[in-house]
Structure 1
Amino acid sequence: MIVGIGNDVADIERFRAALARTPCLASRLFTARERTGPDGRPRDAASLSARFAVKEAVLKVLGAPAGLAWDGIETVTLPSGRPVLRVSGAPAERAAALGIRDWHVSISHDGNLAAALVVAEGGGGRRRCTRVCGRRGGP
């Protein structure tokens, strides 16, 4: 069952300028694994801005949990190139409270935009539909 969906876009040039203006920004926002590509080289601004969009999309699903640390939302790239989401700390606690058990993430960048879509999946069973249907169990 889908618990939540979040999406976000980021302006790559604006993000590149922010990184240049604030040298420690990348280490504040991203884990070491996020800052480094599969080849061991530092990620460029387009890749980092897409990962930042993932973090923002996750916040749209979770709200802004108290005690949030940016490194608690991490996009890891599998050897296949597929991005996967890992949450820890306050984001993981909030996800557990919402019943989220699995995350699906898609990221892309083209031109000057980076985009992310995050889908949070949770427990099975039928959802109660009292607000819309006026009765339990849904249509």
Structure 2
Amino acid sequence: MIVGIGIDVCPVERFARAAGSERLLNRLFTPAEQDSSMNRMAGRFAAKEALAKALGAPEGLSWHDVAVRKDDVGKPFFDCRGTIAARIAELGIATVHLSITHDAGIAAAVVVCEA
């Protein structure tokens, strides 16, 4: 059963301008997530936004409680802990599906949460 769906788009150029501030990057991403291009970080940001929407965007979620990672074949997934893991457990979510794409200067992500 689907518990939540979220989608987000992020213009890469606009994200890169805003992310010129190291303070912003440190607020949004774990140190391991900051090791990539602005294109990929825009995709990770879209993924986190899409997840927040799929979880109902409750107050108190921490950006550092979720990291976007890739498995051995390059498929993206979320590494959740703290406030994010607690919300997932509260909603009875067993599986979180994530897809990220980039095209025409836009990074987009879709999240589907299943019980």
Number of equivalent positions? 115
User: Equivalents in 2 of 1:2, 1:34: separation in Å?
Assistant: 28
User: Equivalents in 2 of 1:83, 1:25: separation in Å?
Assistant: 23
Are 2:15 and 1:15 aligned?
yes
Provide the aligned C-alpha RMSD in A.
Answer: 1.2
Which residue number in structure 2 is paired with residue 29 of structure 1? 28
Which of residues 77, 87, 100 in structure 1 aligns to 2:93? 100
User: 2:108 is paired with a residue of what secondary structure?
Assistant: strand
User: Equivalents in 2 of 1:69, 1:108: separation in Å?
Assistant: 24
Higher RCO (CA-CA < 8 Å; seq separation 6+):
2
Cα shift readout 1:104-128 (whole Å, capped 9, x = no counterpart)? 1000111210000111011xxxxxx
Higher Rg of the two aligned structures: 1
User: Equivalents in 2 of 1:93, 1:14: separation in Å?
Assistant: 32
Return the offset for 1:32. 2.1
User: Equivalents in 1 of 2:69, 2:103: separation in Å?
Assistant: 20
User: Equivalents in 1 of 2:60, 2:71: separation in Å?
Assistant: 28
Matches within 5 A, 1:43-122: 43-122=36-115
Tell me if structure 2 keeps the 8 A contact 1:65–1:90.
no
Query: Gaps (5+ residues) in structure 2?
Result: none
Query: Gaps (5+ residues) in structure 1?
Result: 37-42, 123-139
> After TM superposition, which residue ranges in structure 1, 4 or more long, deviate above 3 angstroms?
none
What TM-score comes out, normalization by structure 1 length? 0.77
User: Equivalents in 2 of 1:101, 1:90: separation in Å?
Assistant: 16
Return the offset for 1:44. 1.0
What TM-score comes out, normalization by structure 2 length? 0.92
User: 2:44 is paired with a residue of what secondary structure?
Assistant: helix
User: Equivalents in 1 of 2:58, 2:80: separation in Å?
Assistant: 12
Q: Which amino acid aligns with 2:19?
A: L
Q: Which amino acid aligns with 1:101?
A: A
